[in-house]
Amino acid sequence: MSLNLRELSQRTQGLAPGHRACAGCGFPVVVRLLFAVARRPLVVVNATGCMEVVTTLYPYSAWPVPYLHSAFENAAATASGVEAAVKALRRRGQLDTHPKVVAIGGDGGTYDIGLQSLSGALERGHDFLYVCYNNEAYMNTGIQRSSATPRGARTTTSPVGRVQRGKPQPRKDLTEIVAAHGVPYAAQASISHWADLARKLEKGLAVVGPAFVNVLTPCQPGWDYPPERLVEVARLAVESRYWPLYEVEEGRTRITYLPREPVPVRAFLEAQGRFRHLLTDEEAVAEIQRWVDVHWERLRNKAGTGQ
């Protein structure tokens, strides 16, 4: 598929207008692109989280497709059941269409609470796409830290004070954990690079078997940036190599975007209030930069020379 932004924008409006996402929220971009690249009917299973709360306030729904809300911990299990039901109905001749099942969850419902359910669905080989809109904390319930929260970030459960200066642990590498299951397709994307994200969603929808796309999706209240800087903040994450864009397809790793002139990770940190306390601590910033550099080199080695 040759991706054209104007063409994609005219295909669908994605979520119905009137949903209650914050100004400067990234997940509507993900949903809009998902619907734009889909070639088959979709059934969406959505874990509890920001996306579910702001799009399904009873008695309204912003979803233009069949939609199921499940608990934090079982979106992948619910998607597994829907996918099995679709297969059974098609075998019996009771379903003419062949919808693709898409499970969507935030980092809390994916990295943490729903990891067991996700791992089981991946291991069983269910034919579905799982999209994680990763805003790096439990934003829906008060901005608590998750295992996706990076080192040094301020949250309500990793506060800044005399004893602790933000979260002391680095974030979990869930994309690599998913890839280690041997799934046909796993990828890391960002809302700032729309063509890359659209291609990865398209690939994930086309795969027969489990596919996973981990999308960096900034959160204005949790990350503390002006709403109009949403895309800029997400782009800085990529350009600093804090959030590399890559895919693992049939076990082969490929970096899909190489920053021409990488910026220091400080530029990404300075764009957000959640890291404000670190900016006068040169050693803390240097430690995060070393972490970024080490993980970038590790990714390059996996992707092979020339990457």
Q: pLDDT digits over 226-264, tens only? A: 999 999 999 999 999 999 999 999 999 999 999 999 999
Structural Rg of the chain based on CA atoms = 19
Span between the terminal Cα atoms of the chain, in Å: 24
Pair 50, 140: CB distance under 8 Å: yes
Q: What beta strand segments (E) does the chain contain?
A: 42-47, 67-70, 100-106, 128-134, 185-190, 211-216, 246-249, 252-255
pLDDT 10s digits, 181-217: 999 999 999 999 999 999 999 999 999 999 999 999 9
pLDDT 10s digits, 62-107: 999 999 999 999 999 999 999 999 999 999 999 999 999 999 999 9
Distance in angstroms (rounded) separating the CA atoms of residues 130 and 132: 7
Which top CATH class is 5-303? alpha beta
Distance in angstroms (rounded) separating the CA atoms of residues 66 and 71: 17
Average pLDDT, the chain: 95
Residue 307: its pLDDT value, please?
45
Residue 1: which pLDDT band, with cuts at 50, 70 and 90? Answer: low
Mean pLDDT calculated for residue range 165-174:
96
Residue 134: its pLDDT value, please?
98
Question: What are the structural domain ranges in the chain?
Answer: 5-303
Please list, residue by residue across 161-183, b when 16 or more beta carbons sit within 10 angstroms of its beta carbon and e when fewer do.
eeeebbbeeebbbbbbbbbeeeb
Residue 4: which pLDDT band, with cuts at 50, 70 and 90? Answer: confident
Collapse the DSSP code of 141 into the 3-class scheme (helix H, G, I; strand E, B; otherwise coil) and give the result.
coil
